[in-house]
Structure 1
């Protein structure tokens, strides 16, 4: 029986793509009134609180003591550092362009797995990595056409730390659900971000309503709800379907950024982004043996 596109699992997958894509323009809105530090902290703490409240209903177990070092690493990189770097980068990089740069995060995850987990590096992974990195370089050049800034490199470093997160979360995902890993690491990321609390309080007092609503939106929907419905979808859909849907995040982010912010990306950035996505598709190609295929979260979800 062919699964219906309107079934809850497909709707959850589509909702995840839209939520994660919409996060990129929402960041631009939040930055205008809150700044990098405050927006990063508020998004993390709101998401962590929401996931903690959902945890008993979703039967999220307490983490094992032996997993705490990995959880700390994932929280520090994939949550705290990622938010700070992406938010800083989006001060000057268009939201849609940022989504194109972030999309190469799985490349870093694969390379790290090869270096530290002794995973076999296939020919398609090598070619795909080179293609994706070349595409990212083209996007960065397009962003620097009006004068070099550190913003595009900051977004690329955000993709790198996101790759570290996916690499480090692989052992956790063998023992825990995707939602459990998200809850643990989001909480850890919030703890690492606590030094930003004074700046967040000062900025929140004077921030316009739109910026505060953006922070709430980012924390509750793309971060918290996005992970909940993503976990629901990947538990009920084939790996290939879930992974393929992630390639839609950058195109959807470009559309949402155009409709919401009126952003029109540089043609060179679009060309580089298309090349980068092709590279990531090559990297994520897996042998036809289920045992050799990681979970989609291990491959790398393109999220903001």
Structure 2
């Protein structure tokens, strides 16, 4: 069976984002959560900045700057800070089980603000998925585990805000442009962390720094660009549903890379979450693919460019 480009983009995103969780654990051996957050997205920003001129990345319209600031603040700055702090106490595989609740968190706002259908089946799936995430969050007994797990759940909320915020932008800009705008905005918000990050780089072991570079170039720079390509062509609910595969890949990667074995209760919670997400994405709901307009790199972006946010996904062409 031949896979289309959108399916391949989703598969690549799953693989890249799954490997990020164990890489964060490695990076935390040499960096604090704040320094890791800034350095990771700074590396990604530099990589995107290097390719931006040759790939025709345009300047965004002023009317879109507030949305870009929200995307950068929620999906980059807040997400990195919360996830990195949480993984100090929570194993990588377990963290991925909590973040798997992102599609459930995205479904209701997508129905309210983007016109996507929210059926009783989707409502039930969202509740089941969130219950599973909560079960994972309370599965540990060590000091600091529960607070860190809730911080990771807050990171998942931040990621849900990002997915919803970029959807309207992807009707005017390419996936590369949206990822670059958000990454640059998120990096700018964390600039106050630059001095302490420089000091950390000088003292960190080579393995930890290598993990940060990996995180910046692949899961961040490449991952968010590929994700933008996929979500531009699908509804938010359909695109984020693919992310329920991330925990399975992360658990395997964490076992091979770090030797981690998640607790039985955490695995049970993860299975409940995935069951809820399967229900959330059950056929019969509105998950029609969207053919997003392909912006021309040579065309200037103007504030008068048509906005399609708020329209049902099936009406966009």
Q: TM-score, normalising length from structure 2?
A: 0.82
Q: What are the Cα deviations for residues 138-164 of structure 1, in whole angstroms up to 9, with x where unaligned?
A: 101212x33454100000000011111
Rounded Cα–Cα distance in structure 2 between residues aligned with 1:107 and 1:158: 14
CA–CA separation in structure 2 for the residues paired with 1:201 and 1:52? 20
The alpha-carbon deviation at position 198 of structure 1 amounts to: 1.5
Please say if 1:124 is aligned against 2:106. Answer: no
Relative contact order: is structure 1 or structure 2 higher (C-alpha 8 Å, sep ≥ 6)? Answer: 1
Give the structure 2 partner of residue 160 of structure 1: 157
The residue correspondences of 1:100-249 to structure 2 (distance < 5 A) are 100-115=97-112, 120-143=117-140, 145-147=141-143, 149-231=146-228, 245-249=242-246
Name the counterpart of 2:18.
21
Indicate the residue corresponding to 1:287 in structure 2.
286
Say which SS state the counterpart of residue 159 (structure 2) adopts: helix
Q: What do residues 262-293 of structure 1 show as CA deviations (whole Å, max 9, x unaligned)? A: 00001111111111122223334432655655
Q: CA 1:73/1:244 → structure 2, altered by over 3 Å: closer, same or farther?
A: closer
* 2:70 alignment partner in structure 1: 73
Moved more, 279-288 or 34-43: 279-288
Q: CA offset at residue 222 of structure 1? A: 1.0
* Counterpart position of 2:93: 96
Encode CA deviations 1:157-195: one digit per residue, 9 max, x unaligned.
Answer: 000111111122222122222222111100000000111
Q: Distance in 2 between matches of 1:281 and 1:208?
A: 41
Matches within 5 A, 1:4-83: 13-83=10-80
CA contact 1:96–1:250 (8 Å) conserved in 2: yes
State the shift of 1:51 in Å: 1.2
Count of residues paired in the alignment: 290
Task: For residue 139 of structure 2, give the secondary structure of its aligned residue in structure 1.
Answer: helix
CA distance in 1, matches of 2:24, 2:251: 14
Quote the Cα distance in structure 2 between the aligned partners of 1:223 and 1:230: 10
Deviation string 1:179-235 (CA, Å, 9 cap, x unpaired) is: 221111000000001111112112111111111111111001111122344456678
Any unmatched runs of 5+ in structure 1? Answer: 295-304
Range moving further from structure 2, 60-69 or 239-248: 239-248
Instruction: Kindly indicate which of the two structures has a greater share of residues assigned to helix.
Output: 1
Match of 2:293 in 1: none
Change (3 A) 1:263 1:164: same
For structure 2, list consecutive stretches of 5 or more residues without a partner in the other structure.
291-311
Aligned-partner Cα distance in 2 for 1:270–1:133: 14
For normalisation by structure 1, the TM-score amounts to: 0.85
Runs of 4+ in 1 over 6 A off after TM superposition: 7-10, 233-242
